[in-house]
Amino acid sequence: MMQSKAFVLGLAAAAAFTAPAFADKLDDVIASGTLRCAVVLDFPPMGSRDENNNPIGFDVDYCNDLAKALGVTAEIVETPFPERIPALMSGRVDVGVASTSDTLERAKTVGMSIPYFAFNMAVTANDKSGIKSFEDMKGKTVGATAGTFEAIALEKQVKEWGTGEFRPYQTQADVFLALSQGQLDATVSTNTVAQSNVKGGKFAGISVVGNAPFDIDYVALFTNREEYGFINYLNLFVNQQVRTGRYKELYEKWVGGEAPDLTVGGVYR
């Protein structure tokens, strides 16, 4: 009798301490105690490295905030733009905090949160190219970082113009290197990146010459498409960041000026 009672108690204890069979990603992250974020680190001011090679930037802080909210430690996994999705799909990261444009095409593959940041697009030109506006780029050699919103839009524009050449480079740093060498006449990049690279002084002979008439580039956090529980958490987290003023604070810290509105008028999310 005593033996079977102990056995039943033992079973109950075992059941209580074993993870449920259908733990989802949110459970997994909390259980593991680590949140692994894919962050692009050659994309200042969103992600870069300081003098001691530590990751810094808006996206890095955002990941740390998310980890804090989840009660876990953040691990920044450096991920170049084209490798964001393979990193997620192969399970190397839990969430992408990587300035990812929320296109419908991509949402077929990954689950996007509500927008957590918005970019305007700026034209940066080599001073010798004589380009003074977006329209001046017609017929010139232009480029952008492969796989980004602006690269896709710019390539489409070059095809529409029917003259000139478009070159996608693998990293933002290569784009600005090619631009300052004069291999590219101009590039379209997010306004934040453009300002930060021109002011940074690493690349000589380039200046921001105007805005590109592309749509506002809303970027979202992303995770696996089927992880509704986690996506739900991410949405609320983005909402809370704005509500608590943390979004403004981070914007002021890394970019400066008026933080862009993350809502679109006239429609529900």
Partner 1 sequence: MFSYTFHWNQAFKALPQMLDGALVTLQIAILSMVIGMACAIALTLFRLSGNRVLGGFATAWVEVARNTPALFQIYMAHFGLGNFGIHLSPYTALLVGIAFNNAGYLAENFRGALKAIPETQTRSARSLGMTPMQAFRYIVMPQMLRIAFLPATNQMVWAILMTSLGVTVGMNTDLAGVTQELNARSFRTFEFFALAAVIYYVIAKIVTMAARLFAARMFRY
Residues of the shown chain interacting with partner 1 in the complex, contacts defined by CB under 8 A: 81-82, 85-86, 89-91, 105-106, 108-110, 143, 146-148, 151-152, 165-170, 174, 177-178, 181-183, 224, 226
The answer to whether the beta carbons of residues 203 and 127 sit under 8 Å apart is: no
| 121: number of Cβ within 10 Å | 24
Min CB(213)–partner 1 separation in Å: 21
21 conformational bin, left if phi > 0, alpha if psi -120 to 50, beta if neither: alpha
Supply the minimum distance, in Å, between the C-beta of residue 173 and partner 1.
Answer: 10
Instruction: Give the CA count within 13 Å in the CB-facing half-sphere of 212.
Output: 32
Nearest approach in angstroms of CB 248 to partner 1 is: 31
Query: Considering the complex, what minimum distance in angstroms separates the CB of residue 196 from partner 1?
Result: 21
Q: How far apart are CA 81 and CA 101, in angstroms?
A: 11
- Residue 68 or 156: the one with the smaller Cβ distance to partner 1 is 156
C-beta closer to partner 1: residue 82 or 210: 82
Give the residue with the Cβ less far from partner 1, 140 or 167.
167
Smallest separation (angstroms) from partner 1 to the CB of 96: 11
Q: Indicate the SS3 state at residue 53.
A: coil
Query: Residue 121: beta bridge partners?
Result: 190
**Which sign does the torsion angle of CA 172, 178, 181, 182 carry?**
negative
**Pairing state between β 34-39 and 95-101:** parallel
Closer residue to partner 1, CB minimum distance, 159 or 253: 159
Whole-angstrom distance, CA of residue 192 vs CA of residue 235: 24
10 or 229: CB nearest partner 1? 229
